[in-house]
Structure 1
Amino acid sequence: MLVSVDQIFDELLNRESLFINKRVLSHDYIPEILPHREAEIQKLAYILASALKGGKPSNVFMYGKTGTGKTAVAKYVLKKLIERGERLGLHFKYAYVNCRYRKTNYRVLVKICEEIGCRGLPETGLPADVIFDKIVKYIDERDQLVVIILDELDWLVKTSGDDILYQLTRINNELNKAQVSIIGITNDIKFKNYLDGRVLSSLSEESIVFRPYNSEQLYDILKQRAEMAFREGVVTEGALRLAAAYAGREHGDARRAIDLLRVAGEIAEREGASKILEEHIVKAVDEVDKDIIGATVRDLPLQEQLVLLAITVLKALGEQQITTGKVKNTYEKICTYLGYSPLSLRRLNDILSDLETLGIILAPVTSLGRYGRTKLISLEVDLKSLVKIFLEDSLYAAALSEFVGEEAIQKIVKAK
């Protein structure tokens, strides 16, 4: 029997929630203690400490896979620096920009302006150098140190080049009273290979590498968050261990572990359970995986989506050995069909590497004997999920229908 919306709301309001503070399970929550990141915190603190004596801290690059604590450590140490600065009468500020969602130079500069308090700029319309000049003027008028955090910086450089990064590394030459330092965050260890020599020489950066968490470390993180997020005794030991094991088995992603715990709590609450059990973690895995795949694919730049669509088409057609050449051929056909200009083979290979870094595909290089070497490409995510995501877009849906066929698509979508 179907239940009315009002009944659902009434049931939720009358039942005691398993949660006491769900916010601590969000990605942007920074706890007072960051377990198992003491060494990284210490290194960044030493680098930034020179600001307390009026010096300009070195620029910093932080490397590590998703969910290894890079952003949390950067924000945590800067928060402490600002607090100490206030007690000493020093003015510090930081601007945080996630370049994955601000992929153009203009939008990055506008976000920096907003973060430092220089507001009222249009999202489009002004030349980028005008926005940059406004940033310089605003910062210098306030005699302060500003640290600019460029999170997922590789997305900006790959999409829009490194001109803005070069300008930011040279910004101190235009400042008389204030100073700027940069913290670049990336999960691409080869990131510096994409930078022009002039940018590299201007950076003068120090590096901090974040290793993935292991299952025991993830358990400690989850235990800390569970004690803050849920009523006492709600989360079972088995559920914590299982969530840590799932996240540790892939690449030690603390964000994924925390997402699993949050979603498991939501599932347990919907089911009217009084405790979060291992079975709720198992159910959460399916939900979280679907959300992660969808968000990742939708956020990809256009050309990366087109390459992934080509791989999806080949897989849907039952292709057993997907090589770089086959992907290139299918990708070019899709580009022609949709009216886009295809990229070169070199850029296609770069995109395949990016998709592999994101965990969407595997693309090991294989020797074909006298025929040379190629990448053998396989999907690391569920074909059905990918097809459903591409069907959300009318253009991609039309391409799937053209190159795979409507009957085959429906068979994939309806498969259990």
Structure 2
Amino acid sequence: MEENIFQPYLNSKRIFQRNREILRSSYIPDELPHRKEQINQLASILVTALKGDRPSNVLIFGKTGTGKTASVKYLEKEIKKADSQFNRVHYLYMNCEVVDTQYGVLQNIGNTFFTDDKFKDRIPFTGWSTERVYNILREKIDETNRVVIIVLDELDKLVYKSGDDVLYHLSRINDDLQNAKVSLIGISNDLKFTEFLDPRVKSRLGEEKMVFPPYNAEQLRDILNQRSDLAFYQGVIDPSVPPLCSALAAQEHGDARRALDLLRVAAEIAERNGDDKVTEAHVYKAKNKIELDCVTEAIRTLPTQSKLVLMAIMLQEERGEGRLTTGDVYETYREISQIVSVTVLTQRRVTDLISELDMLGIIHARVRSFGRGGRTKEIESSVPVVETKKILEEDEILQGIKNYRPKNQTTLI
């Protein structure tokens, strides 16, 4: 019988004892290490809801991977347990990176109050006025005597994209309710976003403020050890692996998500290779893979003009003529733009795009001065040329320059 392509992988030694989702940040364990203080503080605010009164609105700040979302979701489980007999609390979580418009937020909140038999009456994705959506939402919330806790995660994304109108509506909704009460919890990575809020919204929303500090290496190690015990077979993780993942993540800013990703990807690499143990070497491979994935995503999402500028840099680097200048890049950019029939930008605008690519860390551009001869930028890429070209060639518009070679150019200084 012919062997299936997946057979060698299916037969390889298993490292994961249980679902590998345990090593993702979305998994909420029964106990959150080193977040007891913050959870207790939040619980002391939200307990009011279990007594039938409205808790204060809360704003939670903290960098990525400091346990903000995990703590809020953990409290959701606990509130539902405590309220299982009475059903007085309606707890609702929403990520504003996914739903980032005023209409979308109100529509999503409103539709959670429709039962299955009234499914057809739900608020449509689009087509109603915001006022009509708000009125339906208010009516649905006010149908029974209850406390509604609305958690808006990544709140800064919503405010930067759509302003604070929706927060104004939600923060004053209690004035329009007879039976129900609404409490808001906002979560943000950005302390500065409140500067963009209307003063009335700011004072209503920030009745209580909390800041989640970053984890240190020791705390990250405890988190990884807790998840490792749940996720892996005994003895497959080398004792030096959790401390290394913790140290690498703590160097950045104590990001538990990054530490968990490193451990999970390292284990996946070991499993794919058929290795018996996850070692430090696997962690370093995982670090390179994760960093490359971030760069890949950044390149994929660049606007067309920036992709053309980056492609011009890659083509020039392939020829290996040492450091490039803005003039070299512009000449090649102009040629390839004409080949793919895209409007050619001015050299000044291309210089701006080069600066943006430099800020993203995809290239390194250094200004060099030639005295009276003027100034130019010396450019070199910070990413592998062959892989970057492959990613850029995925774009349909850039398909036409797959086999293009830049003409010989002489740079005059």
Q: TM-score, normalised by structure 1?
A: 0.73
2:217 and 2:246 in contact (8 A); partners too: yes
Tell me which residue corresponds to 2:271: 269
Q: Deviations over 1:310-357 (max 9, x none)?
A: 9968987899999xxxxxxxxxx9xxx979xxxxxxxx9xxx8xx98x
Tell me which residue corresponds to 1:411: none
| Structure number with bigger Rg | 2
Q: Which amino acid aligns with 1:241?
A: P
2:64 and 2:255 in contact (8 A); partners too: yes
Deviation at 1:132, TM superposition (A): 2.2
2:52 and 2:88 in contact (8 A); partners too: no
Deviation at 1:386, TM superposition (A): 7.0
Q: Which amino acid aligns with 1:175?
A: L
User: Kindly, what percent of the aligned residue pairs are identical?
Assistant: 40
Deviation at 1:41, TM superposition (A): 0.9
Structure 2 gaps, min length 5: 318-322, 327-336, 344-351, 364-376, 407-413
Aligned partner of 1:256 among 246, 255, 258: 258
Aligned partner of 1:42 among 23, 40, 43: 40
Structure 1 gaps, min length 5: 323-332, 340-347, 363-375, 409-416
Is 1:69 the counterpart of 2:95? The answer is no
After superposition, residues 114-193 of structure 1 pair within 5 angstroms as 114-117=111-114, 120-193=122-195
Relative distance call for 1:244 and 1:183 in structure 2 (3 A) is same
Deviation at 1:21, TM superposition (A): 2.6
Deviation at 1:177, TM superposition (A): 1.0
Q: Deviations over 1:257-293 (max 9, x none)?
A: 1111111111111111121111111111122223344
1:141 alignment partner, SS class? coil
Tell me which residue corresponds to 1:104: 101
Deviation at 1:113, TM superposition (A): 3.2
Q: Deviations over 1:113-139 (max 9, x none)?
A: 344556544322233332222222222
Deviation at 1:10, TM superposition (A): 6.1
Corresponding residue pairs, total: 364
Q: Whole-Å Cα distance in 2 between the matches of residues 380 and 62 of structure 1?
A: 39
Deviation at 1:308, TM superposition (A): 7.3
1:94 and 1:116 in contact (8 A); partners too: no
Q: Which amino acid aligns with 2:102?
A: N
Q: Whole-Å Cα distance in 2 between the matches of residues 121 and 308 of structure 1?
A: 39
Q: Deviations over 1:178-220 (max 9, x none)?
A: 1111111111111101212232243243111111111111111
Aligned partner of 2:247 among 240, 245, 248: 245
Relative distance call for 1:201 and 1:211 in structure 2 (3 A) is closer
Q: Which amino acid aligns with 1:149?
A: V
Structure with the largest fraction of helix = 1
Q: Whole-Å Cα distance in 2 between the matches of residues 313 and 10 of structure 1?
A: 38
Asked which structure has the greater RCO (Cα within 8 Å, sep 6+), the reply is 2
Relative distance call for 1:227 and 1:207 in structure 2 (3 A) is same
Q: Whole-Å Cα distance in 2 between the matches of residues 79 and 173 of structure 1?
A: 29
Tell me which residue corresponds to 2:330: none
Tell me which residue corresponds to 2:234: 232
Tell me which residue corresponds to 1:20: 18
1:172 and 1:180 in contact (8 A); partners too: yes
Q: Whole-Å Cα distance in 1 between the matches of residues 149 and 21 of structure 2?
A: 26
Q: Whole-Å Cα distance in 2 between the matches of residues 219 and 307 of structure 1?
A: 44
